[in-house]
Structure 1
Amino acid sequence: MFARRLFGYPSMNWEHPFAELDRMSRQMDRLSTAVLGRPAMPWMSAKVFPAINLTEDTDKYYVRAELPGIKADGLDIQVQNRNLTITGERTIESEGESVRYHRREREAGKFSRIISLPGDIDADKVEAKMLNGMLTVAIAKAEASKPRQIAVN
């Protein structure tokens, strides 16, 4: 069944080939946190946050990032060359010392995502807006990277 999923055969229950490894990693993280009070291998427990989508149209690239509970003034957004960097910190109120977790997936801490853009950009034409925990960054493409119609003689 895995081979069918991996090589593109039709399947109603398709999932990413590494989804099972991700599930196992989360289970190991939860087990070591329950036993040791901390992840056994902190570098293995790093989550990809924020989740992003990168899209484009003829004039711009759009990066949309889910940032629930984070205020716009707490973000640092920079562009350099073909990279967009989003940096910030997510804080979560303490639940108390005597709280026993049954599931803990929400983490607090500093984050930084560097998103490589597929083409050259115009760094002077970047706009960012935040609405209901969704950050949208619109980045103008450089004129040289925009598609051009070629006339055939």
Structure 2
Amino acid sequence: MYRSLFPRDVLAELDRLQREMQQTFHLSPNIRGIARGGFPAMNVGGTPESVEIYAFAPGVDPNTLEVQIEKGVLTIAGERKLPTPGDKATVHIDERFAGRFRRVVTLPDDIDPGAVDAQYRDGVLRISIARKQAAQPRRITIQ
């Protein structure tokens, strides 16, 4: 009588429910908990002279990347294409992201949108945006 109400293995049932929730909300089951669409992974930081953005995008053709700054917002967009296995191949696990992506970062007010350097090397897109000279810390001499 109780077997139909309660599963025999409660932990297996909880695992199944978790997988269904992840599929429903397109959540990645990794330790970082990044939702799908979190490609490329990014590091954003800065120095007194610049804002530094690193986007980790291996397998992306740099000619397909679009980087733009508009009204204090940096947008990185592009597409990652992966080779498809042959007709007879069976895929057991497919964890790499493929398709169009877009990441948006709000920038601080003191950046100079005219002084941007972007380089792509070894799967890493590095964007360096200089800060305005007026925002640079300066030493004032006392007379």
Q: CA deviation at 1:103?
A: 1.9
Secondary structure of the residue that 1:113 maps to in structure 2? strand
Match of 1:60 among 6, 26, 50: 50
Conservation of the 8 A alpha-carbon contact between 1:119 and 1:145: no
- AA of the residue aligned to 1:128: A
Secondary structure of the residue that 1:73 maps to in structure 2? helix
Q: By percentage of residues, which structure has more helix?
A: 1
Aligned counterparts of 1:60 and 1:128: Cα–Cα separation in 2: 13
Q: CA deviation at 1:73?
A: 1.0
- AA of the residue aligned to 1:86: I
Would the alpha carbon gap of residues 95 and 136 (structure 1) be closer, same or farther in structure 2, given more than 3 Å must change?
same
Aligned counterparts of 1:40 and 1:73: Cα–Cα separation in 2: 34
- Report the equivalent of 1:35: none
TM-score scaled by length of structure 1 = 0.66
Aligned counterparts of 1:145 and 1:99: Cα–Cα separation in 2: 57
- Deviations along 1:95-129, one digit per CA (max 9) or x if unpaired, are 13443333221121100101112342111110111
Would the alpha carbon gap of residues 148 and 80 (structure 1) be closer, same or farther in structure 2, given more than 3 Å must change?
farther
- Report the equivalent of 1:74: 64
- AA of the residue aligned to 2:84: S
Tell me how many residue pairs correspond in the alignment.
Answer: 121
Aligned counterparts of 1:83 and 1:101: Cα–Cα separation in 2: 39
Conservation of the 8 A alpha-carbon contact between 1:90 and 1:109: yes
- Report the equivalent of 2:19: 28
Q: CA deviation at 1:152?
A: 6.7
Aligned counterparts of 1:97 and 1:121: Cα–Cα separation in 2: 50
Conservation of the 8 A alpha-carbon contact between 1:82 and 1:120: no
Would the alpha carbon gap of residues 151 and 50 (structure 1) be closer, same or farther in structure 2, given more than 3 Å must change?
same
Aligned counterparts of 1:152 and 1:104: Cα–Cα separation in 2: 64
Match of 1:148 among 120, 134, 138: 138
- Report the equivalent of 1:114: 104
- AA of the residue aligned to 2:19: M
Q: CA deviation at 1:43?
A: 8.1
Aligned counterparts of 1:103 and 1:145: Cα–Cα separation in 2: 49
- AA of the residue aligned to 1:75: L
Q: CA deviation at 1:80?
A: 1.6
